[in-house]
Amino acid sequence: MPHNIIKPKFSAMDSFQISTASRSQFIDITGQVQKLVAESRMADGFCHIWVPHTTAGLTVNENADPTVVEDILKQLDRMVPWDNHYRHGEGNSAAHIKSSLMGCRLTVTIKDGRLLLGTWQGIYFCEFDGPRQRQVWVGVMAKG
Amino acid sequence: MPHNIIKPKFSAMDSFQISTASRSQFIDITGQVQKLVAESRMADGFCHIWVPHTTAGLTVNENADPTVVEDILKQLDRMVPWDNHYRHGEGNSAAHIKSSLMGCRLTVTIKDGRLLLGTWQGIYFCEFDGPRQRQVWVGVMAKG
Amino acid sequence: MPHNIIKPKFSAMDSFQISTASRSQFIDITGQVQKLVAESRMADGFCHIWVPHTTAGLTVNENADPTVVEDILKQLDRMVPWDNHYRHGEGNSAAHIKSSLMGCRLTVTIKDGRLLLGTWQGIYFCEFDGPRQRQVWVGVMAKG
User: In a mutagenesis test of the C interface, which of A50, A77, A109, A116 is the best target, namely the one with the most C β-carbons within 10 Å?
Assistant: A109
Closest B-chain CA to A15: B1
Which of the residues in chain C have pLDDT under 50? Answer: 1-7
Nearest to B124 by CA among B49, B12, B52, B43: B49
Neighboring chain C residues of B44 at a CB cutoff of 8 Å:
none
As a whole number, the mean pLDDT across chain B is 91
Q: CA-to-CA distance for A33 and A15, rounded, in angstroms?
A: 9
| pLDDT value of residue C3 | 36
Please give the pLDDT value at position B44.
84
Distance from CA of B132 to the nearest CA of C (A): 15
Q: How far is C65 from chain A (nearest CA, A)?
A: 25
pLDDT at site C142: 79
CB contact under 8 A, C87 and A67: yes
Chain B neighbors of A104, CB-CB under 8 A: 60, 121
Q: What is the pLDDT of residue A7?
A: 44
The C-alpha torsion from B76 through B79 and B85 to B90, rounded to 10°, is: -20
| Architecture of the CATH domain B24-142 | Sandwich (2.60)
pLDDT confidence of residue B13: 73
Question: What pLDDT sits at residue B45?
Answer: 87
pLDDT tens digits, residue range A117-136?
999 999 999 999 999 999 99
Mutant choice from B9, B10, B35, B143 vs C, greatest count of C C-beta within 10 A = B10
pLDDT in tens, B85-124: 999 999 999 999 999 999 999 999 998 899 999 999 999 9
CA angle C59, C63, C69 (to 5 degrees): 60
Please enumerate in sequence order all residues whose Cβ is within 8 A of that of B76, keeping only pairs 6 or more positions apart, or say none: A97, B24, B98, B101
Q: Which residues of C21-39 are buried (b: 16+ CB within 10 A; e: fewer)?
A: eebbbbbebbebbbebbeb
Q: In chain C, whose CA is at the least distance from the CA of A4?
A: C11
Selected for mutation to probe chain A from B75, B119, B140 (highest A CB count within 10 Å) is B75
Separation between Cα atoms, residue C18 and residue C26, nearest integer Å = 12
Q: How many whole angstroms separate alpha carbon A86 and alpha carbon A68? A: 29
| Residue range A8-45, pLDDT digits in tens | 555 557 899 999 999 999 999 999 999 999 988 888 88
- The pLDDT value recorded for residue C6 is 38
* Contact assignment for C13 to A109 by CB distance below 8 Å: yes
The residue extents of the domains of chain B are 24-142
Q: Which of A61-65, A78-82, B41-45, C127-131 has the lowest mean pLDDT?
A: B41-45
**Is B141 in contact with C7 (Cβ distance < 8 A)?**
no
- Cβ neighbours of A105 in B, within 8 Å: 60, 106-108
**Smallest Cα distance from B33 to chain C, Å:** 11
Tally of residues, chain B: 144
B vs C: CB pairs below 8 A: 122
Q: What confidence score (pLDDT) does residue B1 get?
A: 32
pLDDT for res A23: 98
- Percent pLDDT > 70 in chain A is 91
pLDDT at A1: 31
ω before A66 within 30° of 0 (cis)? no
